Amino acid sequence: MRTILLAGVALSSLGTALASGAAQAQMSDSVVKIGVLNDRSGIYADLAGEGSAIAARMAAEEFGNAIGGAKIEIIVGDHQNKADIAANLARQWVDTEKVDVVADVPNSAAALAVQGITKDKKRIFLMSGPGSTDLTGKSCSPYGFHWTYDNHAMAAGTARALVEQGKKSWYMVTADYAFGHSLENETTTMVKQLGGKVNGAVRHPLGTSDFSSFLLQAQGSGAQVIGLANAGGDTTNAVKQAAEFGITQGGQSLAGLLLFITDVHALGLQAAQGLLLTDGFYWDQDDAKRAWSKAFMAKNGGKAPTMVQAGVYSAVKHYLKAVKEVGSDDPDKVAAKMKELPVDDMFARGKVAANGRMFHDMYLAQVKAPAESKGAWDYYKIVKTIPAEQAFLDPKESGCPLVK
């Protein structure tokens, strides 16, 4: 009897070992490799950059940097805001470095290029930084997940709020690439739907340092609102130079249609006070966000997280949760599980639609006056919550062929 029992124990142990080995074998190369690809040196480095990599690492740490015996590895790359560099890096990562996931990718032209690569090669793409609605529209992918915001959400928040205040005539100053064009189109559509009009638009190159000619055209239009369809350093440069021209003192309003907390920090409260903006995340909004943000700030030189960086954390965490539940990093199985599981973390409570759009509430915020701020990074007053269904396009209207 004793011999039989020992044999049973040995067989049981062997079965456990085999099961463990099988679980690990489901992970390609016994590694779950995530590549954070973004601007690490240019105008979008503050809103994404190393902060997005930190956020991805924080998500991996919550899983002990391993799933089912497979190591979770985070690598980083700089696309320099160039679509060809982004595509080449993504292709190299998949073909040579066996990357399972590409994450972040601010700059819509770069993201659209990466979407094509990841779709062809069947790799998960977690988008936090780009804004173009085409990413979950005509250019959607079964492996693409648009997580944090998009240009429709920006227009549904900021543009709607200003038009409802009676500011119905607009002029657009637009970054001349896919993101800017998309944001201009979404804003124009929203303004017109609400009974307003867009008097005209001027487009500027990405990374512009001198906005004088563009702002003078906008000023001369006589529009009540000058809409800035740009982001990062372009937005802060435009706002600073608008102040030099006395645009707001002359009665026109500036609308930063995509404004990040790092932009407000760069401008300072004296210059930014009163600006309305739409955001998907504010670090000081509740206890869970504060706790996570303080841990992030400790790793990021004291800088508060942007919604893009917080969105990277949430998207990577949701991906890893799906991998754990499936017991594999097979992209088809994981993508299906990500759409099945609800999103529930410090960033948001939401749901992923068939076109890869993650639906969650957005927030209309107003920048505080210097006297209202109680400390570092205490910059926003949340004016209202924008329900997910109002913030984002109905998937059936997105033009995505995955939506039935």
Q: Is 361 exposed, middle or buried (0-12, 13-18, 19+ CB in 10 A)?
A: middle
**CA atoms of 260 and 283, how far apart (whole Å):** 12
Q: Measured over all CA atoms, what is the biggest interatomic distance in the chain, rounded to whole angstroms? A: 97
Regions in the chain scoring below 50 on pLDDT: 1-25
What's residue 191's pLDDT? 97
What's residue 20's pLDDT? 40
What's residue 28's pLDDT? 75
Give the CATH superfamily of 29-149+285-361: Response regulator (3.40.50.2300)
Contact assessment for residue 223 and residue 189, using Cβ atoms and an 8 Å cutoff: no
Smallest Cα–Cα separation from 51: which of 320, 314, 266, 313? 313
What's residue 29's pLDDT? 83
What's residue 24's pLDDT? 42
Contact assessment for residue 349 and residue 360, using Cβ atoms and an 8 Å cutoff: yes
Span between the terminal Cα atoms of the chain, in Å: 62
What's residue 102's pLDDT? 98
What's residue 15's pLDDT? 42
**CA atoms of 338 and 352, how far apart (whole Å):** 7
Torsions phi, psi for 368 (to 5 deg): -70, 155
What's residue 38's pLDDT? 98
What's residue 17's pLDDT? 39
Which H/E stretch holds residue 316?
A: helix 307-326
Per CATH, the number for 152-257 is: 3.40.50.2300
Residue range 268-302, pLDDT digits in tens: 999 999 999 999 999 999 999 999 999 999 999 99
Torsions phi, psi for 68 (to 5 deg): 55, 35
Smallest Cα–Cα separation from 341: which of 311, 314, 319? 319
What's residue 178's pLDDT? 93
3-state secondary structure of 261: helix
DSSP letter string over 331-397? Answer: HHHHHHHHHHSPEESSS-EEEE-TTSBEE--EEEEEEPPGGG--STT--EEEEEEE-HHHHS--GGG
What's residue 151's pLDDT? 96
- Beta-bridge partners for 10: none
At 267, list the tokens: 């401008």
- Residue with token string 């006056």: 369
Torsions phi, psi for 78 (to 5 deg): -110, 115
In the chain, CATH 3.40.50.2300 covers: 29-149+285-361, 152-257
What's residue 6's pLDDT? 32
Contact assessment for residue 288 and residue 34, using Cβ atoms and an 8 Å cutoff: no
C-beta neighbour count of 165 within 10 angstroms? 12
Residue range 377-399, pLDDT digits in tens: 999 999 999 999 999 999 999 99
